[in-house]
Amino acid sequence: MKRKTKLIHGGIPSDAATGAVSVPIYQVSTYKQEEVGVHKGYEYSRTGNPTRFALEELVKDLEEGRRGFAFGSGMAAITAVMMLFSSGDHVILTDDVYGGTYRVVSKVLNRIGIESTLVDTTNLDAIKEAIQPNTKALYVETPTNPLLKVTDLKAVSQLAKESSLLLIVDNTFSTPYWQTPIKFGADIVLHSATKYLGGHSDVVAGVVVVNDDKLGEDLHFVQNSTGGILGPQDSWLLIRGIKTLGLRMEATEANTKKIVDFLSGHPTVKKIYYPGLESHPQHEIAKAQSGGFGGMISFDVGSEEKATEVLRKVRYFTLAESLGAVESLISVPAKMTHASIPAERRAELGITDGLIRISVGIEDAEDLIEDLKEALA
């Protein structure tokens, strides 16, 4: 099955009980048992729900793993994955990891003894230096948010294997349409499905795919124990969103290239971060491991004042957090998504006050460019 076909026919594409071509919303908490312990595979919807299961099977197929899981948010998914570890375990993470991931490891998981170190995972030596005897996993986000740094999945996978570490990849920005980290050796792939998978700014969700049956059992145990599941209505919305993922990603890619071309020649734009540019430090790696470069662009306009002005002037770019939807969004990471990262740390990473991040939607590129042209003038 090719990629767009899989989005439609992967997982459980229809309802076995009725033939309904859209898996119904099984809005139910419990299931009648014929006798004690005799049932049709479902007992209670925290443990399993047919609509959620259809989504979980679909994402499993898209990421080419062994088992899928759906959670109430990306953060619930990330937290559940971290609950595979115990007090005294250590995890190495990409340094400009999503702000919420940084917050949960540095302010919540640390309190229960799960230690973490942030390193530039584009630098293999930096990862090697951070490995401790109690290190259990390497957690990579690629491309990153908002600087779009790209980690070499094949190389980090090899390093993880040599050091007996689990490789966990946050694949939110690329989506399985462009990038399938399990093929490069990842053990666990996760997403904020709130972004491209859902794609319509109408659902908050997270998904995880594991590439090993034992990991699948362990994660199901955590999911069922801690209970951060996705409800049936939102599971259905995600299945619906995923059907058009291919079309949306192709349209986003085309728009993004045109916008990058426009920004590249603009005098107000001091620096552009986009993995599709030949000048991007990891351009060749991005090209080798992803079918597309995605719809995220960050660019520096030099000052907070200028950034504020641009955000005030745009009409089609909606000033909002989040990304990956049909509508184009614009934000200033330092003041919004990355505000929970201390100013000093932001400066170290290069997340300046003049840095603008856009998530390119599927509107007409001409309108988006016109909008940016006027805002930057």
Ligand X SMILES: *Cc1c(COP(=O)(O)O)cnc(C)c1O
- CB of 19 vs ligand X, minimal distance in Å: 33
- Kindly state the smallest distance separating residue 78's Cβ from ligand X, in Å: 6
Which residue's Cβ lies closest to ligand X?
74
- Regarding 74 and contact with ligand X (CB under 6 A), the answer is yes
User: Which residue in 68, 206, 232, 241 binds ligand X (CB under 6 A)?
Assistant: 206
Does residue number 282 form part of the binding site for ligand X (CB under 6 A)?
no
Does 94 sit near ligand X (CB under 6 A)? no
For residues 149 to 188, the per-residue mask of contacts with ligand X, x marking binding by CB under 6 A and - elsewhere, is ---------------------x-x----------------
Out of 137, 189, 204, 325, name the contact with ligand X by CB under 6 A.
204
From the list 49, 51, 73, 179, which residue makes contact with ligand X (rule: CB under 6 A)?
A: 73
Residue 196 engages ligand X in binding (rule: CB under 6 A): no
User: Hey, which residues are catalytic here?
Assistant: 46, 98, 170, 195
Residue closer to ligand X, measured from CB, 206 or 354 = 206
Smallest separation (angstroms) from ligand X to the CB of 190 = 8
Query: How would you write the chain as a 3-class SS string?
Result: CCHHHHHHHCCCCCCCCCCCCCCCCCCCCECCCCECCECCCCCECCCCCHHHHHHHHHHHHHCCCCEEEEECCHHHHHHHHHCCCCCCCEEEEECCCCHHHHHHHHHHHHHHCCEEEEECCCCHHHHHHHCCCCEEEEEEECCCCCCCCCCCHHHHHHHHHHCCCEEEEECCCCHHHHCCHHHHCCCEEEEECCCCCCCCCCCCCEEEEECCHHHHHHHHHHHHHHCCECCHHHHHHHHHHHHCHHHHHHHHHHHHHHHHHHHHCCCCCCEEECCCCCCCCCHHHHHHHCCCCCCEEEEECCCHHHHHHHHHHCCCCEECCCCCCCCCEEECCCCCCCCCCCHHHHHHHCCCCCEEEEECCCCCHHHHHHHHHHHHC
Binding site for ligand X (CB under 6 A): 73-75, 98, 100-101, 141, 145, 170, 172, 192, 194-195, 204, 206
